[in-house]
Amino acid sequence: MDTMTYVYDQSLIPGAEQAIRVCLDVQPEQRVFILTDRKTLPVGASIYDVAKKVAKSCKLMILEDHVARPAEKLPDSIMNELEQCEVCLYCVNPQPNELGSRQQFVGKVEANGIRYAHMVGITEEIMCQGMRADFRKVDEVSKSLLAKAKLAKTITVKSRRGTDMVATFSQERIWRKTSGIIEEVWSNLPGGEIFTAPISVDGVFVVDGSVGDHFSSKYGVLDETPMTLHLEGGYLKRVECANKDLEKEFWEYCHKAEHSDRVGEFAIGTNLAVFEFTGNLLQDEKMPGIHIAFGDPYGSQTNTPWSCPTHVDVITGSCDVWIDDFQVMENGIFLAEELGFDYAYLAGDHSVGV
């Protein structure tokens, strides 16, 4: 697609530059493929315009031109492009029942060893906020936290809204860093988290941030109607929420398939430039704090022996966090001195205050 005829706000360009030049470090000999949709076309087009200045070649495809939505399976016309690129970006707004096609896409990306940015749910606002973070600094913070998390037997999480839980870990599982600097494995953008698959999670998890998949755009931030999740042995046992539609829909989503009700991911957000919930999980989960996900544990990355066709994240805010007995966060703020970094660089971070 030639975007010369497509007009978008030039404020998207700095975030697009970050994605291509910093996060993916695209080289002149590489071929880039971008999959977007009608709703996200401004973002996709801005990234395309930056990429074509750097890469050997760049191709942009619009999802609806090749398959009806919701797209439960991607056609060969899209999947075959993954045989023709070294770098790929997925910039699509999610719809219900599309997780399977995203797993299909990512599976091919992994099989082909493509450097890949997963930007599901990316918006113009996020391009001007989280995508303008100093990802080299985010990477530094992530590495500091990762060094401690890799040795953890337990992580305890408490919050002012009522979260009180303990997650248990095994050295056999792998912790991953997705800081925005995409190196070993593919990553969400904007970046800023470390994650693994826990052995078990027990206690109460109060969701006062956002919920993943299609819930994010439908329900937004849950600060006025938090959802309380009761966890035992790593499984969801009960859901309570004043919004009964959400309560019912979330419970049903977590019982679609075997392991849909099992905690498959435990993650710590590390993007210091994200400081408030927006209602979009793609950015919200990067804010310093804790999120967990029910369903697929990204077994290829975490060395987890089970899988699931569903995956949905949930976020709790303003946490106190202990890695074993070492406190790393208080009221949603990293204890920077203990972790060996500071927040001073934020004074010059363009994403803060936008």
The per-residue pLDDT of the chain, averaged, comes to: 93
Would you say residue 99 lies in a domain? Answer: yes
Indicate whether 103 and 153 sit together in one domain.
no
Give the model's pLDDT for residue 346: 53
Instruction: Report if residue 354 sits inside a domain.
Output: no
Instruction: List the Cα angle 293/301/100 in 5-degree steps.
Output: 60
Distance CA 83, CA 262 (A): 34
Question: Domain for residue 265, yes or no?
Answer: yes
Reported as a single tens digit per residue, the pLDDT across 218-264 is: 999 999 999 999 999 999 999 999 999 999 999 999 999 999 999 99
DSSP structure class, residue 172 = T
Residue 180's alpha-carbon distances to 63, 82, 115, 191, 193, in angstroms, are 25, 21, 12, 4, 9
Domain that holds residue 278: 134-348
Q: Tell me the β-bridge partners of 314.
A: 211, 292
pLDDT, tens digit (0-9, with 9 covering 90-100), for 109-124: 999 999 999 999 999 9
pLDDT at 347: 47
Residue 350 and residue 330 in contact, taking contact as beta carbons nearer than 8 Å: no
* Strand 326-330 versus strand 333-334 pairing type: antiparallel
> With 60 as the cut, is the pLDDT of residue 93 above it?
yes
Whether residue 322 has pLDDT greater than 90: yes
* Torsion angles phi and psi, residue 207, rounded to 5: -90, 105
Last residue of a domain, one of 63, 92, 127: 127
| Top-confidence residue, 76 or 137 | 76
Beta bridge partner(s), residue 87: 32, 115
**Whole-number Å distance between alpha carbons of 7 and 9:** 7
Q: For residue 253, tell me if it sits in a domain.
A: yes
Last residue of a domain, one of 127, 147, 166: 127
pLDDT of 343: 66
Instruction: Report pLDDT for 352.
Output: 44
Tell me, what amino acid is at 222? L
How would residue 324 be classed by pLDDT, with cut points 50, 70 and 90?
Answer: very high
pLDDT in the model for residue 299: 94
Residue scoring higher pLDDT (120 or 340):
120
Contact 87, 116 (CB under 8 A): yes
The pair of three-digit structure tokens given for residue 77, joined into one six-digit string: 């016309």
pLDDT surpassing 90 at residue 25: yes
Q: What percent of the chain has pLDDT over 90?
A: 83
Over residues 67-91, mean pLDDT: 97
Q: What angle do CA 228, 230, 233 make, to 5 degrees?
A: 150
pTM of the model: 0.84
57 plus 190 within the same structural domain: no
Asked whether residue 138 falls in the same domain as residue 167, the answer is yes
**Percent helix, strand, coil in the chain (nearest 5)?**
30, 25, 40
Average pLDDT over residues 9-21: 96
Residues 77 and 139 in one domain: no
Q: Determine, yes or no, domain membership for 206.
A: yes
Q: What is the DSSP letter of 331?
A: T
Same domain, 211 and 285: yes
β 227-232/200-207 pair status:
antiparallel
pLDDT score at 337: 84
Mean pLDDT of 267-274: 91
Same domain, 317 and 186: yes
Total domain count for the chain? 2
pLDDT at site 345: 54
- Give the separation between CA 311 and CA 297, rounded to whole angstroms: 8
**Domain final position from 127, 158, 191:** 127
Q: Is residue 243 part of a domain?
A: yes
pLDDT band at 351 (very low <50, low <70, confident <90, very high): very low
- pLDDT number for residue 282: 86
